[in-house]
Amino acid sequence: MKRKQTGFSLIELLIVVAIILILAAIAVPNLIQSRMTANEASAVQTLRDINTAESVYSIQFGAGFSPDLPSLGGTSGTPSPSSALLIPDPVAQAPNTKAGFSFSYVVTASNGPNSTPSNYTVNANPIIPGNTGRRWFFTDESFVIRFNTTGPSTANDPAI
């Protein structure tokens, strides 16, 4: 009399687990690379958004550029020089992060009687280099986005 087999044998299960592990070993590095590429694309787009917001801020309020990132942000109400409602709050409010990147805004020159900002720089740095991104980004009032692969980017780095 033959015994009826129910279920899988141990060898069959081990073969299936081995195949899954091999596929995971191939897929995980590609997933990490894809995530870093997506984070970098998000950082570049955010820098473009900040540049556009600065242009709109300057035209709308006639006061040069904004004094800081929170002035470009806000969530509701009437746009004002201190809450222009031009960029999303995750970037505008501390800790100024989005998609694995940290954004820092610096006014580099001011003019006029009220010392309105006439120049600014924005850096987008990966929070964990090699994990959340491979490149550092920079932009200023020229609206050119630049990058560096070894550390924080400056105005001397190549444009994207």
Domain boundaries, the chain: 11-148
Three-state secondary structure along 83-134? Answer: ECCCCCHHHHCCCCEECCEEEEEEEEEEECCCCEEEEEEEEEEECCECCCEC
Q: Which of 98, 102, 144 is nearest to 123 (CA)?
A: 102
Contact 92, 70 (CB under 8 A): yes
Task: Report the percentage of the chain scoring pLDDT > 90.
Answer: 60
The pLDDT tens digits of the residues spanning 31-49 come to: 889 999 999 999 999 999 9
* 124-144 residue pLDDT tens: 999 999 999 999 999 999 999
pLDDT at 113 over 90: no
Token code pair at residue 50? 């900040």
Does residue 112 carry a pLDDT above 70? no
Q: How many CA atoms lie within 13 A of 114 on its CB side?
A: 8
Say whether pLDDT at 149 is over 80: yes
Report CA dihedral (45, 47, 51, 53) to the nearest 10 degrees: 70
Cα–Cα distance measured from residue 92 to residue 133, given in angstroms and rounded to the nearest whole number:
20
Q: pTM of the entire structure?
A: 0.80
Confidence band for 109, pLDDT divided at 50, 70 and 90: confident
> What pLDDT, on a 0 to 100 scale, did the predictor assign at position 159?
93
